[in-house]
Amino acid sequence: MKPYNILISGGGTGGHIYPAIAIANEIKVRYPDANILFVGAKDRMEMEKVPHAGYDIKGLWISGIQRKLTIDNLSFPFKLISSLWNANKIIKQFKPDVAIGTGGFASGPTLIMANRKRIPTLIQEQNSFPGITNKMLSKKANKICVAYDHLERFFPSDKIIKTGNPVRQDLLTIHSKEKEGSEFFNLEKTKKTILVLGGSLGARKINQLIEANLDFFKKQKVQIIWQCGKLYFDEYKKYTELENVQVYEFVNRMDLAYAAADVIISRAGASSVSELCIVGKPVVFIPSPNVAEDHQTKNAKSIADKHGAILLHESELETFPIVFETLLKDRGKQEGLSENIKELALPGATTAIVNEIEKLLKR
């Protein structure tokens, strides 16, 4: 039997890229001779991250529509036509047995053309509130893998399978890595460790919050692993000179960072939320309000409503010192948050999604 050809499209942010790579890795475990090709958006981070993970990728000239009138918006129709044409060309050459979309600009044109050619398609929706692209693709998709309940409002109910979001497999064993994590980051055993995550590009408001509270953290006798993001590293790297502060553009060993952390401050992108449910540490979510449909707030609220995390809106950041100090001093609160967030974890997500892909391959 000839090897399967698997087409995967997703990107723009780590939240779309890492689930796509996790799915590809699981397919490779089951079908080592499978041919896997990614389709991404030119000049976006997937063009670097996917080859780094060992997979080929083709780029489309595509971007999203901005909320205000810009030159990019005027060029969008031309980008869309170009992307549909090139996606069609890629599909004709690669002849995929199945096409998978994990969200992002490029997945729209890719899966539209796959559907037109009657290639089975599966979309993986990470958020509790889907974006426009996946809502549109859901009409023709064969299967829709989701991470949250009540998405029948947006998708055909007979296509929905609740699987959870794919996460890095090394997170499943972090509770045995606390000593290794502490040594890797050269941490003091007597101090609590705060892990700050603003996403791969960074989060301005979170970075400003941490900067404004450095003296406060010093008084609390905590040490900080601060992932400030690619866009802000040059601005904040100077704080690594401070005692008990480590600033990173990107944390390569997230498993060890999670293992070493006592409390985590994080954005609420879907992949981060799914990872943090498995990690099971006390979390303060500070969602970005500047994303489509305010989906980060909805993601964080779905956890906070079940007493699995603290939700702090950007408009409430002046209360952060009180919220944080109260949490730090309340061992019972920390343990309660940990237990409750763990109950929401779906650690078998990648396996469940690839099970559904297998069904499409074997039809």
**296 annotated among ligand-binding-site residues:** yes
Cα–Cα distance measured from residue 224 to residue 251, given in angstroms and rounded to the nearest whole number: 13
Tokens (6 digits) for 137: 């693709």
**13 annotated among ligand-binding-site residues:** yes
**35 annotated among ligand-binding-site residues:** no
**15 annotated among ligand-binding-site residues:** yes
**14 annotated among ligand-binding-site residues:** yes
152-162 core/surface letters (b: 16 or more CB in 10 A; e: else)? eebbeeebbee
**280 annotated among ligand-binding-site residues:** no
**193 annotated among ligand-binding-site residues:** no
Cα–Cα distance measured from residue 295 to residue 160, given in angstroms and rounded to the nearest whole number: 19
Q: Report the binding-site residues for UDP-N-acetyl-alpha-D-glucosamine.
A: 13-15, 127, 168, 200, 296
Q: Report the binding-site residues.
A: 13-15, 127, 168, 200, 296
